[in-house]
Amino acid sequence: MKKISLKVCIILLMTVLLIVCNTIVSQATTTSASGSTIYEGENATVSINSSVGLGSYTVELVDAGGLEFVTSSGGIGEGGKLITNTSTNEITSLAKFTFKAPIGIAKQYIVTFKISAMAKPDETEISDETIKGTITVKKKEVAPPSDGGNSGNSGNSGNSGNSGNNGSGNSGTTTKPTVTMLYTSPVDFKGFSASKTSGYSVNVGDSDRVNVSASPSGAEISIINKTNGDTGSKWVYLKEGENEVQVTDKVSGKTYTIMVTRQKAEEKPSEEKPNEEKPTEQKEPLKLTGLEIDGIAISPTFSSDVTEYTALLEDLSIKNADVKASANREGAKIEITGNENLVEGENTIVITVKDGDESKTYQIVLTKQEKQPTEDINAIVAGTTTVERKGVNFVFIIVISVVAVVALAAGIAFIITQIRYKKANKSGMVDFTGISGEEEEIKPRREKYKDDGDDDFPPRGRSGKHF
Q: Give, in order, the Cα–Cα distances in Å from 395 to each of 372, 373, 406.
A: 16, 12, 17
Q: Across 234-307, where does the E strand assignment appear?
A: 235-237, 241-249, 255-262, 288-293, 298-299
Give first-to-last CA distance, the chain, whole Å.
Answer: 120
Q: Which residues of 264-280 are buried (b: 16+ CB within 10 A; e: fewer)?
A: eeeeeeeeeeeeeeeee
CA 138 from chain center: how many Å?
39
Residue 327's pLDDT is 93
Residue 230's pLDDT is 85
Of 13-17, 90-94, 209-213, 360-364, the one with minimum mean pLDDT is 13-17
Q: What is the per-residue pLDDT across 311-368, written as a single tens digit (0 to 9) for each?
A: 999 998 999 999 999 999 988 999 999 999 999 999 999 999 999 899 999 999 999 9
C-alpha to C-alpha distance for 333 and 352, rounded to whole angstroms: 8
Q: What is the per-residue pLDDT across 275-297, written as a single tens digit (0 to 9) for each?
A: 545 555 677 899 999 999 999 99
C-alpha to C-alpha distance for 55 and 444, rounded to whole angstroms: 103
Residue 431's pLDDT is 53
**Is the Cβ–Cβ distance between 293 and 321 less than 8 Å?**
yes
Q: Residue 198: helix, strand or coil by DSSP?
A: coil
C-alpha to C-alpha distance for 431 and 466, rounded to whole angstroms: 7
Q: Across 200-286, where does the E strand assignment appear?
A: 200-203, 209-215, 221-225, 230-232, 235-237, 241-249, 255-262
Find, among 233, 232, 238, the residue nearest to 202 by Cα.
Answer: 238
**Is omega for the bond preceding 279 within 30 degrees of 0, making it cis?**
no
Q: What percent of the chain has pLDDT over 90?
A: 30
List CB contacts of 113: < 8 A, sequence separation 6 or more. Answer: 33, 48, 59, 60, 61, 62, 97, 130, 131, 132, 133
C-alpha to C-alpha distance for 410 and 98, rounded to whole angstroms: 96
C-alpha to C-alpha distance for 376 and 389, rounded to whole angstroms: 14
Q: What is the per-residue pLDDT across 250-274, written as a single tens digit (0 to 9) for each?
A: 888 889 999 999 988 765 555 444 5
Identity of the residue numbered 376: D
